[in-house]
Amino acid sequence: MLIFGHALSFGKAVCRPNPSQTEISSTKSSIFTRSAMRLYFPLLVCLAAALSTAAISSPLDLWTKLILTQQWPNTFCSVEHHCHPNFSYWTLHGLWPDKGNNCNSSWHFNSSEIEDLLPDMKKSWPDLLNPSSVQFWKYEWSKHGTCAAEAASLNSQHKYFSKALELYHKVDLNSMLMKFNITPSDKYYTFSEIEEGMTNFYGVKPKIQCVHPSKNSEPQVLGQIEICFDADFTLLDCEKHFTISTFSRGPLDHPLGVTKPSGLSVCSYDIPVYYPPTP
């Protein structure tokens, strides 16, 4: 029995009040909760891990900048064998996201999807090593296009290649350089002339790359220009990385500066720039 709220002992036996319905329900609920936790805990751990991975990897891996890269054919062909420099204008090298390479190996290039673009592709985005081949475009799609396609605006081969062509014609690098009297010739330019002209025209800083001389007395040769855009295709400053770059061609890559003493990297301010005329 209870006396003033305490259990009264008779020998070893202890008398306690009958448990209330609330206590019984609470005990059952506690037992059920522990059983449920044992059953679902592994699933909850897996779900938490999956959500954590998605939350961490997706925003960090998504590109934020597109790099429209153009090359001067005569410079490219000066360092490549079996080349066809029969172009007197800047040609497209590629449209590159700032993050990711070969993002979907199962998404194969299909030229039939860009059939309507092929006339412009052959003119504006030619393969200087093999003009009759689609291997260059296949390589650019596999390495860069599949990563650019993470954005809805570029999520097909047609969208990717047509946007690259659109931006190429929009910036019209050939006309811009001519406007500032920067033309292929035997005269030399200062790097500042070229960079300031482009910055004034586009309102952003490009990344201008040269093939550097093997001797101190020689000029650097203008070779490649990158113009950058954000994910909404608005012009953006390009970051400068003073590292050796390449005229990328996948299996046809020739690592300038790796097997040769001269390389393609950001032009130097204090070395004259040679903008070679077409042969």
6 is catalytic: no
The active-site residue out of 81, 84, 144, 158 is 144
Token couple for 44 = 């909850």
23 is catalytic: no
How many CA atoms within 13 Å lie on the side-chain side of 84?
Answer: 11
Q: How far is 10 from 77, CA to CA, in rounded Å?
A: 106
The answer to whether the beta carbons of residues 114 and 158 sit under 8 Å apart is yes
The active-site residue out of 80, 115, 140, 196 is 140
Contacts of 70 (CB under 8 A, 6+ apart): 90, 91, 92, 93, 168, 173, 224, 225, 226, 227
81 is catalytic: no
Bridge-based pairing of strands 220-230 and 273-274 is parallel
Q: How far is 205 from 200, CA to CA, in rounded Å?
A: 9
The active-site residue out of 23, 81, 84, 93 is 93
Catalytically active residues are 93, 140, 144
